[in-house]
Amino acid sequence: MPAEPFGTTADGRSVSRHTLSRGSLRVAVIEYGAAVTAIEVPDRAGHPANVVLGLGTLAGYETVSPSFGAIVGRYANRIAGGRFSLDGHGYRLPVNEAPNTLHGGPENFGRRLWRAELSDAARLVLVRRSPDGEEGFPGNLDVRVTYSLPEDGVLRVDYAAVTDRPTILNLTNHSYFNLAGEGTGSVLDHLVQVEADAFAPTDATQIPTGALLPVAGTPFDFRTPRALEARIRAGDPQLTYAKGYDHTFALRGAAGTLRPAASCVDPGSGRRLDVWTTQPALQLYSGNNLDGRLIGPSGRIYRSGDGVCFETQGFPDAPNQPGFPSAVLRPGETFAAATEFRFSVV
């Protein structure tokens, strides 16, 4: 399907929406934030529905979107105190979740206009240059994100980036899933499994302590499928800090290899999502900060727990955490990662 207009930014730039289609899967992506605005898949009876949260207008994505479907960066997740050091140089970043920097700052990649380099029925390539100093980060960074539908039921996201100065990088797609259908209410009955034996506990500001703790015996044990609601109200300080799940899991297997990361099933509709990735970690977020002030394309409000994110990524605050895998990208290197969202029914 050819691109169609999706409005004009506040500073007068046109934005297009691209729709990819293969078999029963349809995916809509806008150039603003490289954001996925809809993923349409059938339930066990064959009835299609959009299974990601979003907003009905470009103005909503510009002003109030909590990164719905967006590619966030230059550094997804949190950086402590809005500062880091690299090769003996200190860098200051804008603080947008006091006292920390979240997703690269208030004008992160999810708030930028990307350029469509290629668009056809089953593939969309979006690119942008993040200039040296943007949101405080060093180096001109050229980023390419490819959305593709390699087969029916599979949405693949490929990331690639190069820099002309040493910098730090952490990219993810920030889609909020509701497998019962956008706007249908809580996802806390969804059954979730995460392929991880350890998670990263945080302090009260949600910055990792640097430890990786076993999930066994904690509310973070998703080694077998469990409903999100089963232990989300357990009296664990970690759940108090985040108002639910908003934690990093260290995925099993070697980073750089495409392997299972998580799965999610909506018992009512029978829709199933399997997440595969080459990334080392996954942030499980239960939509805790949705507070009823946003209205989706369905015309229904979004409240806490109405969407769940499976953010495949590197580790948060890695530049300040020597025990975590490095997030440094240097000239001559290419950052490359891939994630697949595989939809089916049970």
User: What residues are annotated to the active site?
Assistant: 174, 311
326 known ligand binder: no
Cβ neighbors of 346 (< 8 A, separation 6 or more) are 44, 265, 270, 272
103 known ligand binder: no
174 known ligand binder: yes
246 known ligand binder: yes
Which residues, in sequence order, are bridge partners of residue 89?
86
- Residue set of the binding site for beta-D-galactose: 77-78, 174-176, 246
